[in-house]
Amino acid sequence: MIEIDGAEGEGGGQILRSALSLSICTQQPFRIVNIRANRDKPGLRRAHLTAVQAAARISDAVVEGAALESRELTFRPGTLRAGDYAFDIGSAGSSTLVLQTVLPPLLTAAAVSRVRIVGGTHNPGAPPFDFLARAFLPLLARLGAQVALDLVRPGFYPRGGGEVHVRIEPATLGSLELMERGAARRCYAEAHVAAVPSHVATRELEIVGKMLGWPREQLHVRALSNDVGPGNALTVTLEHEHVTEVTTAFGQRGVRAEDVARAAAGEAATYLAATAPVGEHLADQLLLPMALGAGGRFRGVTSSSHLRSNAAVIERFTGREVGIESAVDGVVVTV
């Protein structure tokens, strides 16, 4: 039984999700205490509970402590089963975080799996659908995975109701070498609005254009059906030859459109000012599939507490070493 203190490192939900995935893949049970101890509302929220339940379903696991607001959990995995699965968070909790929990194990299953998840698709504090589709999955494909991701319907906080369909083929993951971005190909911003005045999108894109020096041709309003709103998400996509970075900010009640734009454009400007190919959030996501495959290395813009916490959990379950070394422009991460 592997013992994990959820208060260590970044102290959030990623420690739990990585532990669930790795427990199934390595067939090692674990017990975690102080779940999400460093968050304003500690313990299991709906999305985290759904991730636990999803992990249990795909592996016939025996679980203790799977309840809302629970701060302790014991997970004993059984046999991993490919199949068709449907998970409904029942709130606007992030469907992408649930997907990230079951995706690594299902890549190691014996047959194709299809997963349907209902919940939020564009959430603060979680990778939005666009990030997974444009930044993460292309690199996962370079590792040898074949994953088809489809956004059936977007879902924003607080309404939720978004729907994501995923087809996951079994794969033997290889290694990843990502040390350079390559030539810039395409950069653009999209302001998504649903049941929100169109001038919100216009104001956001005006700020992005000024901050990044982009013409109108690179700024796009994406008007969505009012049925999925209210919601507003601003994404900035930076495509390069070897990697794509996606930064995002979300409209919230009481937050001006201009401030939303400055957050997304500011993060994009920081990335463009650096030379390393892997952004802060993408670095977190790459570690686990690299550890389940043949390893590799990449250059990252920065070393975050999420990255270091994820590395520690991976080392506990797999025995593989994750090296994070300072470099001239960022860090070099080796698995």
Could you list the active site residues? 306
Which tokens hold the place of 164? Answer: 């994501």
Rounded CA gap, 21 and 16, in Å? 9
How many CA atoms does the CB half-sphere of 205 hold within 13 Å? 20
Question: Which is nearest to 233 in space by CA: 242, 220, 214?
Answer: 220
Helices 257-273 and 198-212: crossing angle, nearest 10°? 30
Q: Tell me the β-bridge partners of 85.
A: 115
Which tokens hold the place of 192? Answer: 């998504």
The residues near 227 (Cβ < 8 Å, ≥ 6 apart) are 194
- Specify whether the CB–CB gap between 208 and 261 falls below 8 A: yes
